[in-house]
Structure 1
């Protein structure tokens, strides 16, 4: 289910279902989605490197590629972990100044979010809560509502809830905590994981 043809079809399905924006990885997928949808695209480019834990749009070259492919908003890893690229403050400034694109900061902690907001990020997201060494214990606990609430109470930048949203009613909790929007990923786009959840439940 990976590749531009499939991603474009999934994007169309999500749009028909009522999605207001799309998040997509890589220039090829973004270009394919842009060809079939006018919804705003939050673009990322994942580049893995065993030497560095930051892999979501780690540098300006990655941001440039996805902007050229049609991304309206550039998402990036905004944690303070080592990265192979420009320092976060430089990367945010260049994306906003040279590419003219809003920045969507994927954060893991309260400190990440406050810092990214101070550096000029346009959206602060809880995407990486549960997916860093520091926050790994949260991965099994569902969406990080406490982080959403803490950030919403501390900064004026819009907070986007993302990470482990599996049931529609969880959105109510996120919005009540102060979320501006919610990104739903695996629960919509990954048939394998959806199937596994049903099978696991049936075996209980």
Structure 2
């Protein structure tokens, strides 16, 4: 399955009144009705709610969970992969950086098991060219710049990943979809990401991040 167009990340932070399955599902439906090609959702509960309300939606699913001794939190292990897929995701997004994973599971093991036991399509959330190419070689169908600027190795980098995108486009296999995610804040930047080689662009905070957007406006006031 090739990615294309705009994918809206419909998420809400812990403690937000928006972090309700019905609210998430309504925002997802509004995004899809207005032309989004798919939605990116966090947690099995929210994935299930959107799948029920929007049965034909393209859903990229993940589950953010933290464990002691590891900085990996986007679908970090087998339990999370299985739950996200079982909730109705079409594509499972997972951290595909080189960082140590909880429980000693390796990226190679997780990708192999997800393909073998679930037949799941996988999106690799990466921070670098090397990790993107490695994820594709291991069997990920999509590669996204999601973690560029958010890992220890790229802490000095500022998303969007304008430098990384053309490098990935040039070196990834043609069958692998390239996703620009992180820091896209306007329609113009979305067009720029597509022009830089992305097959699809994920936009979250700029569209659905009411909590962060309002806080930014209040701070400016």
TM class, shorter-chain normalised? Answer: over 0.9
Equivalent in 85, 98, 104 of residue 80 of structure 1: 98
Distance (Å, rounded) in 2 between the aligned partners of 1:11 and 1:43: 13
Checking the alignment, whether the CA contact within 8 Å between 2:143 and 2:178 is kept in structure 1 is: yes
Distance (Å, rounded) in 1 between the aligned partners of 2:38 and 2:148: 21
1:52 paired to 2:67:
no
Distance (Å, rounded) in 2 between the aligned partners of 1:72 and 1:121: 13
Runs in 1 of length 4+ with deviation above 6 angstroms? none
Equivalent in 60, 64, 71 of residue 82 of structure 2: 64
- Equivalent in the alignment of 2:14: none
Equivalent in 165, 175, 184 of residue 148 of structure 1: 165
Kindly state the Cα deviation for residue 151 of structure 1 after the two structures are TM-superposed. Answer: 0.4
1:39 paired to 2:57:
yes
Cα deviations by residue, 1:146-204 (Å, 9 ceiling, x for unpaired): 11111001112221000011011001211111101001111111112222333455x4x
Q: Please show how residues 79-118 of structure 1 align to structure 2 within 5 Å.
A: 79-85=97-103, 86-118=105-137
Structure 1: runs of 5 or more not aligned: none
Checking the alignment, whether the CA contact within 8 Å between 2:166 and 2:196 is kept in structure 1 is: yes
How many residues end up aligned between the 2 structures?
Answer: 200
- Compare relative contact order (CA 8 Å, sep 6+) and give the higher one, 1 or 2: 2
Structure 2: runs of 5 or more not aligned: 1-17
Secondary structure at the counterpart of residue 23 of structure 1: strand
With the length of structure 2 as denominator, give the TM-score of the two structures.
0.87
Equivalent in 119, 134, 148 of residue 138 of structure 2: 119
Cα deviations by residue, 1:64-105 (Å, 9 ceiling, x for unpaired): 111111111111000000101421011111112211111100
Kindly state the Cα deviation for residue 136 of structure 1 after the two structures are TM-superposed. Answer: 1.4
- Equivalent in the alignment of 2:15: none
- Equivalent in the alignment of 1:162: 181
With the length of structure 1 as denominator, give the TM-score of the two structures.
0.93
Cα deviations by residue, 1:95-122 (Å, 9 ceiling, x for unpaired): 1221111110000111110110111110
Secondary structure at the counterpart of residue 33 of structure 2: helix
Kindly state the Cα deviation for residue 21 of structure 1 after the two structures are TM-superposed. Answer: 0.7
Checking the alignment, whether the CA contact within 8 Å between 2:68 and 2:102 is kept in structure 1 is: no
